[in-house]
Amino acid sequence: MATAVDGLKARMFTLGAPDKDGVMRGGAAKRAARTRLAMEALAELWDEACAAVPFDVPPRGIGLAAVGSLARGQLGPASDLDLVLIHDGHALGEADLNAFANKLWYPLWDAGLDLDHSVRTRAQCEAVTDHDLPAAMGWLDVVPVAGDSELVAATATSILERWRKAARKRLPELLDSAQVRLERFARLPYVNQPDVKEARGGLRDTVLTAALAASWLADRPHGRYDDAVERLLDVRDCIHLASGRDTNLLATRWQAPVAAMLGLADPTLPAGEREAKSIDDLATLLARLGRTIAFSLDATASRAQRTLVHDKPRFSFFQIRSPRAGGRREAPTFELLDEGVAVHEGEVVLAPGVDVAADASLPLRVAVAAAEHGLPINTSTLVNLTHAPVHDYAWDDASRALFLRLLAGGEHLARTWEELDFVGLPARWMPEWSAIRNRPSASAAHRYTIDRHMVEVTSQLGRERPGCAVSGARARSGERYDDDHFAALLLAGILHDIGKRPGVGDHAAEGARHAQAIVRRMGFSRQVERWVTLLVREHLTLSEFASSRNPRDPQAGRELAQCVDRDGIVLDMLFDLTRADMCSLGATPGETLSGQAGWSKWRAQLVTQMTAAAMYHL
């Protein structure tokens, strides 16, 4: 028997189809049309279900509600339908209620539609959203579909009011959920195969941003942020069209067709080159969108947290008789971290009275303070830092030292660098950074984009020299690099893949050329420049020797020793760079790589043995 939802899945795909030239245009209008189509079909299905059961379905006390992407008007070609059958507990008996619900759900399943469904009373809806944060997020947008719309609206209003009352207590839970997703799915701008929903800067963050705004703790951004959300929804829709299913993972095999549907494929380029460039452009687009959305969430969350702090009275009951500030709120307190840099309410900010436009090294001092103290940089401070007179050619001893301290930030370097990169500061220090910024790596072993990979590598480099206590090698455990050698190692880490540019065959040789120019322009010593150039040029050599040469072959050891100018400390530096480079490789979630990638025990043994063979010939 035909139903109102027969063929609905195919019709939704048809509504999202690209134009004749293969480009998907008017994404927002198509999402609105899909939503109308789905809502109309569901309303008809309600009428059919009412007619199909052998009892009367009352007009009051039971209604069908849409939540999630359907309620937000963001339905993709293959998105699931989030539906809740709400009842007052009296309209139908349990048996009749189940029978009626089956008349709604089964036609949807038979039509091949993905369905997230539930049957609840208003009290049950409130209880679920009180204890289930994802459910609460979905319920902040509710649209009546059919039946008792007043019951649906009353339930939605009640849940929203409860959310606002509980928002102050639930804010930490909401922010913790974002952190958990970040640890699992990483950041959208830096993952080669990102989940455009769950990654940091993805669609899930837009729901969290809306939830913060709905709490009345802080308003959300508009304008540029709204445009970014719509464009990321276009990307999600194109993934559905390319894959033919409800998925948010931009897997490698879908990237070229998705880029083409987004209009990123240049028809004047030959096949092969056209796809490669379009994938690069897609990665750049995702990085821009992800950064905008993540920055907006951070800014909204920061304002919400400040609201909680400033809503609290700054004097106690026992101070009423002699208040410290005469009954007024106390002025904000700043703890100075460096010249012009302070911490306020857990964020690095500019100290009062600082003149940003007159201080070229201020961005570096802010960055070092954030990395060394493990604190985020205030979003307004980041924007203000763009007014500093930063130039790639204006370096002195103090700014060079600050840059090295930033690179030595360890586990906090990645977050700080990401914050700086959002406002374009790294490219102002090193214009060459723009050429690799947001670019995906052609190697399947790389989880991250080229720029993020270099930051991850640098974050793993320390002063301790490796101890190669294997056959033929003397133990050096506990020895540390001096300042110049450590500077060269850090600089090599942040520059080792700077040569990975379109059309470049040997990125190590190309990178050495650029690295030499950057380090020289920054004013480092010629000795540091020579070490950095060598390390960037040879950063693949040790791993290649370890995988293709016999460590027991004296010729292999002699050749490797020649590659590091027969310098034992430089060999140590190459070992550390190789280890960090391999440790930063890895699979995207849901992807499997062979044992040839990464720093496995087997790879560590091969590299250590080859290092010992070279050490013998120094």
Domains of the chain with bracketed CATH = 8-166 (3.30.460.10), 186-310 (no CATH), 339-429 (no CATH), 446-617 (no CATH)
Q: pLDDT by residue (tens digit) across 151-205? A: 999 988 888 888 887 777 777 777 888 888 888 888 888 888 899 999 999 999 9
Q: Which DSSP string do the residues of 504-559 spell out, in sequence order?
A: -S-HHHHHHHHHHHHHHHHT--HHHHHHHHHHHHTTTHHHHHHHHS-TT-HHHHHH
The region of weakest confidence among 189-198, 380-389, 516-525 is 189-198
- Strand ranges across the sheet with 62-67: 115-121, 81-87, 62-67, 142-147
State the angle between helix axes of 526-537 and 507-522 in degrees (0 to 180), rounded to the nearest 10: 160
| Residues paired with residue 349 on neighbouring β-strands, in sequence order | 342
| Residues paired with residue 342 on neighbouring β-strands, in sequence order | 336, 349
In terms of DSSP bridges, do strands 115-121 and 81-87 run parallel, antiparallel, or are they unpaired? parallel
Looking from the CA of 123 toward its CB, the CA atoms found within 13 Å total 2
Amino acid at 212: L
Q: pLDDT by residue (tens digit) across 199-254? A: 999 999 998 888 888 877 777 777 889 999 999 999 999 999 999 999 999 998 99
| Residues paired with residue 115 on neighbouring β-strands, in sequence order | 81
Find out whether 586 and 550 touch, Cβ atoms under 8 Å. no
Q: pLDDT by residue (tens digit) across 21-71? A: 999 999 999 999 999 999 999 999 999 999 999 999 999 999 999 998 999
pLDDT exceeds 90 at position 348: yes
Amino acid at 423: V
CA distance 492 to 537: 10
Q: pLDDT by residue (tens digit) across 408-446? A: 999 999 999 989 998 899 999 999 999 988 887 765 556
**How far does CA 469 lie from the centroid of its chain?**
40
Write out the two tokens for 613.
Answer: 């063979």
In the three-class reduction of DSSP (H, G, I as helix; E, B as strand; rest coil), residue 144 is classed as strand
Q: Is 365 exposed, middle or buried (0-12, 13-18, 19+ CB in 10 A)?
A: buried
CB atoms within 10 A of CB 102: 13
Q: pLDDT by residue (tens digit) across 300-311? A: 887 777 666 555
Residue 335 phi/psi, 5-degree rounding, is -100, 115
Residue at token pair 């339930």: 155
> Which secondary-structure segment (H or E) carries 35?
helix 27-52
Q: What is the pTM of this model?
A: 0.74
In terms of DSSP bridges, do strands 142-147 and 115-121 run parallel, antiparallel, or are they unpaired? unpaired
Residue at token pair 């139903």: 3
> Which secondary-structure segment (H or E) carries 341?
strand 341-344
In the three-class reduction of DSSP (H, G, I as helix; E, B as strand; rest coil), residue 120 is classed as strand
Tell me, what DSSP letter sits at residue 317?
Answer: G
CA distance 90 to 39: 26
pLDDT band at 361, cuts 50/70/90?
Answer: very high
Find out whether 511 and 522 touch, Cβ atoms under 8 Å. no
CA distance 618 to 616: 6
pLDDT (average), residues 352-378: 94
pLDDT band at 595, cuts 50/70/90?
Answer: very low
Q: Is 131 exposed, middle or buried (0-12, 13-18, 19+ CB in 10 A)?
A: exposed
Whole-number pLDDT of residue 135:
72
State the angle between helix axes of 224-243 and 273-310 in degrees (0 to 180), rounded to the nearest 10: 130
Q: pLDDT by residue (tens digit) across 461-502? A: 999 998 653 333 444 556 899 999 999 999 999 999 999 887
State the angle between helix axes of 397-407 and 413-422 in degrees (0 to 180), rounded to the nearest 10: 120
Q: Is 478 exposed, middle or buried (0-12, 13-18, 19+ CB in 10 A)?
A: exposed
Which one has a higher pLDDT value, 443 or 275? 275
Whole-number pLDDT of residue 153:
92
